[in-house]
Structure 1
């Protein structure tokens, strides 16, 4: 559980840092791109401000140096002077000149050009500059910034994992104290409860009045419930601690557990469909406890037939327990795995609210998950998904 918290904190820390970094890098790129494009445009504007017609007519057209090209048009749109590259796309230029745009970036033959036009007293002036070096610079800048982002992501993830580890230390300490307290309290309660239960069994052999026997039966039932609760608390106290796992014949375990319930509840019908020879790595006692929780719930909340099935798909083993009982409301289905959550038990026993929480913990320790499909008044189906390794 704490490792899961640490991973979430790592994702939160590194994600926040990465988002800030990406925003900074985007700002760097946009600022540089705007600066370079503004410099290119200012250069064209400075050229266009000269008295270009008069200087060209005097044969001084060499003051416009490559990679800046130009075209001078008279009032009728006819070309008077031009210095354009031989591979220029004339359609692109005519489309730009007929538009209302002052500037435009175009690309042909893997070269990038910046177009600029303005009206003059004697016609229209078009300037075109090869800005391929500027675009190459921006592409290299993108590559550099992407490399910085990747490297920073790795570093920030490692730093975030370290910081998250330090952040969960107090949580780990508090969790360990709580677990030790629960374990110690459970162990301490076991002995007196066993003594009380044994004393009740001895008293049952004595002659008692009807009222006394009724009281004794109530005390015995409550004591048995307390023993059950103490066992659940002890199991929860061990949550997260590694348990020895060995190869388990899951098919045999499910079959024997179902048979035990059929003998104990001879007035109930439990149908079993179990695929043979399904094995997995796990703890036999915990897996038995897992199935017991769902069978006990099915018997409490349903008076009809209970179906238990075990099958294997290409990706997982599915253990299904289905009843035809009262069902679970949709707004409670996300809460039933919380500790001590009981819902409405006014007509169906009491319970401690720990069973499903324990079942989920056991499933997670075996790499599994639990899904639920339930409809009020129709029944509930729990499916435990164990991965096939």
Structure 2
């Protein structure tokens, strides 16, 4: 159980860090991308307002940028841009290519005429694997098309994103390494508390057995003297009940200590049938119907004794809480593609909508809130033991209520069998 808790602690801690890293890197990337786009649009606007030329003096009417200093005439020289002026009535196209070397005047004319036919006054165009942002602005009798090479800006943005992701990945790996190395120390108080709890249950169980034995012996001695009475009968019943509770608690504590399980290839169909045959008379004697459906020759890598105990616990629990005249069902069948085995135990229970199946595996959880004592009442420990056994097998167990029945379903990994052997 400690290893299971440790794994969950590592998973949840790592998941929280991943969420934080993604939030930080995502925020930085988004801000950087938006800032780059704003810068491109701002430069295009300045150039378009100056008819594709560099402003002669101070740059006026600059667009407001997010966390971006104001442009100066000198700062605009860092950008690569070109422009074309197209007369409205036709005529020669004027080209300004002083700030670009990779695009010829002829290609600038072609690009300007191509984008002029598009809808909208700005966008992007791809030329020789380079993306150029453009903006179109009409003036008196002419149209100015300004192009800006945005590859430098977007490359810088991509580099920031890549560096952020790389640093986040390195931080995550470093964090996971430290967490795995020191996680046991981090949960040491929980381990110690769990260990003290197990020791207390075991020690208390042994200490309680002695006075219970004395009470039982005194009761039997009294019966020899005065005969069996209602008082002595009640005393012996309570002694038996407490002894059973102590044994269950000790067994549960031992299961949590990761006991040595003799896992081997077991024919679980045979074991399930054997348990069903042993309890069938008890179930029918309590006034319940019993339905059994076991697929033959299903095998799994389990401990045979613990699997026998698992089926017994589930079947006994179903019988205890089955409605009078109801049906107890036990089925064992292969899962999808024969990769798993499903053990299902059901019992009729009309008041199932008043209980919470998710709490069935809690220790000492009982459906009857008053915990009234009757002949079939349990202690609320059996299903906790069943859950622990299934976990030690590496399987899953869950409970649900459907169609007037409580359903306990166990899923185990099926074992592959070489049919050429034996």
> Do residues 213 (structure 1) and 229 (structure 2) align?
yes
Q: TM-score, normalised by structure 2?
A: 0.74
Contact 2:52 2:144 in 1 (8 A): no
Structure 2 partner of 1:82? 95
* Alignment partner, residue 352 of structure 2: 328
CA distance in 1, matches of 2:131, 2:362: 63
Moved more, 217-226 or 282-291: 282-291
- Listed as ranges, the matches of 1:209-248 within 5 Å are 213-238=229-254, 239-247=256-264, 248=266
Q: CA RMSD in A?
A: 3.5
- Is 1:168 equivalent to 2:168 in the alignment? no
1:366 to 368, 393, 408: 393
Who is 1:386 aligned against?
412
When structure 1 is superposed on structure 2, of 307-316 and 170-179 the one drifting more is 307-316
The SS at the match of 1:242 is coil
Does the aligned pair in 2 maintain the 1:9–1:160 contact within 8 Å?
no
Partner of 1:159: 178
Work out the CA distance in 2 between the residues paired with 1:241 and 1:80: 85
1:341 partner SS: coil
Cα offset, 1:80, TM superposition: 4.8
Where in structure 1 are there 5+ consecutive unaligned residues? Answer: 54-63
Does the 8 A contact of 2:84 with 2:112 survive in 1?
no
Q: Give the Cα–Cα distance (whole angstroms) in 2 for the partners of residues 230 and 65 of structure 1.
A: 83
Instruction: Show the 5 A alignment for 1:199-348.
Output: 199-201=218-220, 203-204=222-223, 208=227, 213-238=229-254, 239-247=256-264, 248-264=266-282, 267-268=285-286, 269-302=289-322, 303-304=324-325, 305-313=327-335, 314-326=338-350, 328-329=352-353, 331-344=355-368
Rounded Cα–Cα distance in structure 1 between residues aligned with 2:402 and 2:51: 85
Q: Is the 8 A contact 1:106 1:112 kept in 2?
A: yes
Deviates more, 1:15-24 or 1:362-371: 15-24
Checking the alignment, whether the CA contact within 8 Å between 1:6 and 1:164 is kept in structure 2 is yes
Deviation sequence 1:7-55 (CA, Å, 0-9, x none) = 33323333333333333333443454455555555655565566879xx
> CA shift at 1:181, angstroms?
0.7
Report how many aligned residue pairs link the two structures: 372
Report the more deviating stretch, 162-171 or 29-38: 29-38
Deviation for aligned residue 1:233: 0.8
Q: Give the secondary structure class of the aligned counterpart of 2:115.
A: helix
Contact residue 334 and residue 340 of structure 2 kept, 8 A: yes
Quote how far apart the aligned CAs of 1:279 are. Answer: 3.7
Q: Give yes or no for the alignment of 1:95 onto 2:100.
A: no
Name the CA distance, whole Å, in 2 between partners of 1:369 and 1:178: 25
Specify whether residues 40 and 321 from structure 1 end up closer, same or farther in structure 2 by C-alpha distance, changes over 3 A only: closer
Q: Is the aligned partner of 1:188 residue 2:214? A: no
| C-alpha separation in 1, matches of 2:402 and 2:124 | 62
Taking a change above 3 Å as real, the CA distance of residues 138 and 202 of structure 1, as seen in their structure-2 partners, is same
Q: Secondary structure at the match of 2:365?
A: coil
Cα distance in 2 for partners of 1:283, 1:200 equals 40
Structure 2 vs 1, CA of residues 284 and 110 (structure 1 numbering), >3 Å: closer, same or farther? Answer: same
Are residues 320 and 155 of structure 1, via their aligned partners in 2, closer, same or farther at CA, if it must alter by over 3 Å? same
How many angstroms apart in 2 are the aligned matches of 1:296 and 1:250?
Answer: 18
